[in-house]
Structure formats: C-alpha cells, structure tokens
C-alpha cells in the first residue's frame, strides 16, 4: 500500500512550470504577479502556449514539453486541468501544486488565497505529498497492442447514445469474473472513486487504499454490483457486442473507439503522481465540502 503522505524535503527549486485552465482569461491577473513573485525568488518559470497567451506573452513551450524542463508544476484551474497535467508527468518525479480557481476540488485543493503562503512553505521544504497511483491501459486488437494511455481517475467503457446494451467479459488475473450486460463499465483508482464511479453507485475509497473499483453502469442484472479488488491485479475487459458504438474514455478527456473482441487491459502503473497537500484541510474535510455532508 502506498503511504498517503510523505514528508517534504528542503527545497532547492530553480525551475517551475505554470499551466492554467485554457480560455479562462481572468487567470491572467493571477499568473502575471505569480510569475513575477517566482522570478523575484530566483526561480525560472516555464509557461505553455495557452498560459502565456493569457498574459499576452509570446508562446514559449508546448504543454507536453513543460515536464522535461521543470522541477515542479503549478496548475491553476480545476481537477480536469490537473488530470491533463498529471498524465504528462508520468514517470517523472515532478510534484504538482493544484490551485483551484473555482470551487474546492478533490485534487486542486489549494485555494487562491493560500497560494503564496503555500509556496513559501514549499520553498522552505515544509510540505507534504500525496502519492496517487496511476493506471496503465492498453488496448489490444487481434492480439496486437494498438494504443495505450496513462490514467489517474478512471477508464470508462460505454455505449454511444443510440447503442443498445453492450456485453463485456471481465477477467482478473486471467480468471473469468462475469459478463456485464449494461450501458458500460468504470474501472477506477481510489482517486477516481469520487468521480464518475460515485455517480454510478460505486463506493468512496480512501486514496491511500491499495485498491481498484469496477463499477457497472446501469447493469441489466441487478445483482451486478461494484467490486473492489487489489490494485496489483491485471484486469481485462473484452467487448462481446458486435456492430455497436462503444468507446473507451480515459479520465473523461481522451476517447478511443472499440471494436468487437477488442481487449482493454488495465494494470497499476509502476509510476505515481505526487500532489502537494494543503496543510489547511484533510481528505475528510474535502469530502464534506464537495459532497455537502451535513447540509440540509
């Protein structure tokens, strides 16, 4: 099991990436003074093209190039923006500081008013990290691997708007589990348990748990319920339906069209993402706020 937090170390940051939510023009008023503050501390900043455009600067880097230049990335946006960045840093020991510019996020938990005090702590080495697992997802067609994606939250296999119920065979470590006849299936990390899986009736799983969650979407058989399994297994999902519109979607952002007998293979990655924690709230406080527990 991964530890939820690990102690921070004395910082010697010299290069920091800034990536903001695309098209959110008001973020220019946050990015400009933030970049100046970091440069005043002797830290070189690296902005992707969209973020640079928000403050009227000349384009510098592609977003995908940022991780190769920096030691930390500050993400200004919501959980969706952070998910897109998290996939880019797979395999690199680059912590992410997620700054939420709207409501409190499950991943972007640092509020704007906490940004500079949080950065002071990071520069002093006084911070903690959440280590979150990633999934490696491979799609096989006729025995050949045709694509692969890293995943932070979930892999969703579901039918199109006009498709009928689909059939999905599920195997875990090559042992047949069941055939789901449903609108689809969600395979989620603990981090993603509070996303689509939760809306489909899946359990909330603490991010420190060594588990994966399989949640059927509107199953035809009511005894098909969500399953929680160890995160060291190999999950294989085989599309059994012919001539239907079915897609695999990764973190809700990247989609891939599936064909009859395609195999979606899902394993825990050897890599993790590292999120810098806010010292001002814990996981349960975020749950209460996001899910509005105790409100009447």
What pLDDT was estimated at residue 102? 73
Does 79 qualify as catalytic in the annotation? yes
Share of the chain above pLDDT 90, in %: 75
Catalytic site residue from 79, 130, 183, 251: 79
> Taking 70 as the threshold, does the pLDDT of residue 48 lie above it?
yes
In angstroms, the CA 239 to CA 139 distance is 11
In angstroms, the CA 10 to CA 163 distance is 55
> Taking 50 as the threshold, does the pLDDT of residue 63 lie above it?
yes
Characterise 288 by phi-psi region: left (phi > 0), alpha (psi -120 to 50), beta (else). Answer: alpha
In this structure, is the dihedral angle defined by the CA atoms of residues 282, 84, 19 and 112, taken in order, positive or negative?
negative
Q: What residue spans define the domains of the chain?
A: 5-127+277-291, 134-270
User: What CATH code is assigned to 134-270?
Assistant: 2.60.200.30
Exposure pattern of 105-123 as b/e (b: 16+ CB <10 Å)?
bbbbbbbeebbeebbebbb
> What is the average pLDDT across 176-205?
96
SS3 16: strand
Return the higher-pLDDT residue of 23 and 65: 65
Return the higher-pLDDT residue of 7 and 206: 206
Q: How many residues does this entry show for the chain? A: 296
Chain segment 107-138, per-residue pLDDT in tens: 988 888 999 999 999 999 888 899 999 999 99
Residue with tokens 């394993």: 267
> Taking 80 as the threshold, does the pLDDT of residue 54 lie above it?
yes
What pLDDT was estimated at residue 222? 87
Token pair belonging to 20: 């903001």
CA angle 235, 272, 236 (to 5 degrees): 10
Return the higher-pLDDT residue of 89 and 103: 89
Chain segment 257-287, per-residue pLDDT in tens: 999 999 999 999 999 999 998 888 889 998 9
Query: Residue 229: is it exposed, middle or buried by C-beta count within 10 angstroms (0-12/13-18/19+)?
Result: middle
Cβ contact 85:96 at 8 Å: yes
> Taking 70 as the threshold, does the pLDDT of residue 36 lie above it?
yes
Cβ contact 85:19 at 8 Å: yes
Q: How confident is the model at residue 98 (pLDDT cuts 50, 70, 90)?
A: very high
Residue with tokens 């599920």: 170
Q: Which residues pair with 44 in a beta bridge?
A: 15
What pLDDT was estimated at residue 26? 86
Chain segment 210-247, per-residue pLDDT in tens: 999 999 999 998 899 999 999 999 999 999 988 889 99
What pLDDT was estimated at residue 244? 87
SS3 261: coil
> Taking 70 as the threshold, does the pLDDT of residue 6 lie above it?
no
Chain CA centroid to CA 239, Å: 25
Average pLDDT, the chain: 91
* C-alpha closest to that of 202 among 220, 225, 224: 225
Predicted TM-score (pTM) of this structure: 0.91
> What is the average pLDDT across 89-101?
92
* Second CATH level (architecture) for the domain 5-127+277-291: 3-Layer(aba) Sandwich (3.40)
């Amino acid at each position: 099991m991964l530890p939820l937090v690990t102690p921070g170390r004395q910082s010697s940051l010299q290069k920091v990436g800034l990536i903001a939510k695309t098209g959110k023009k008001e973020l220019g008023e946050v990015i400009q003074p933030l970049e100046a503050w970091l440069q005043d501390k002797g830290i070189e900043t690296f902005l992707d093209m969209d973020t640079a455009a928000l403050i009227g600067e000349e384009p510098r880097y592609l977003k995908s190039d940022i991780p190769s230049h920096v030691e930390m990335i500050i993400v200004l946006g919501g959980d969706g923006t952070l998910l897109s960045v998290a996939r880019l840093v797979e395999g690199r020991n680059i912590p992410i500081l997620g700054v939420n510019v709207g409501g409190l996020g499950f991943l972007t938990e640092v509020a704007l008013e906490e940004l500079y005090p949080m950065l002071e702590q990071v520069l002093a080495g006084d911070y903690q990290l959440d280590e979150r697992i990633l999934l490696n997802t491979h799609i096989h067609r006729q025995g050949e691997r045709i694509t692969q994606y890293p995943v932070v939250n979930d892999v969703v296999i579901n039918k199109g708007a006009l498709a009928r119920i689909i059939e999905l065979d599920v195997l875990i470590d090559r042992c047949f589990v069941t055939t789901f006849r449903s609108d689809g299936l969600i395979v989620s990390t603990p981090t993603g348990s509070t996303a689509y899986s939760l809306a489909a009736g899946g359990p909330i799983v603490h991010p420190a748990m060594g588990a994966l969650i399989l949640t059927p979407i509107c199953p035809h058989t009511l005894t098909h319920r969500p399953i929680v399994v160890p995160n060291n297994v190999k999950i294989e999902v085989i599309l059994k339906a012919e001539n239907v519109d079915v897609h695999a979607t990764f973190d809700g952002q990247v989609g891939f069209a599936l064909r009859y007998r395609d195999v979606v293979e899902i394993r825990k990655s050897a890599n993790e993402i590292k999120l810098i924690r806010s010292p001002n709230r814990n996981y349960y406080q975020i749950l209460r706020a996001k899910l509005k527990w105790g409100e009447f």
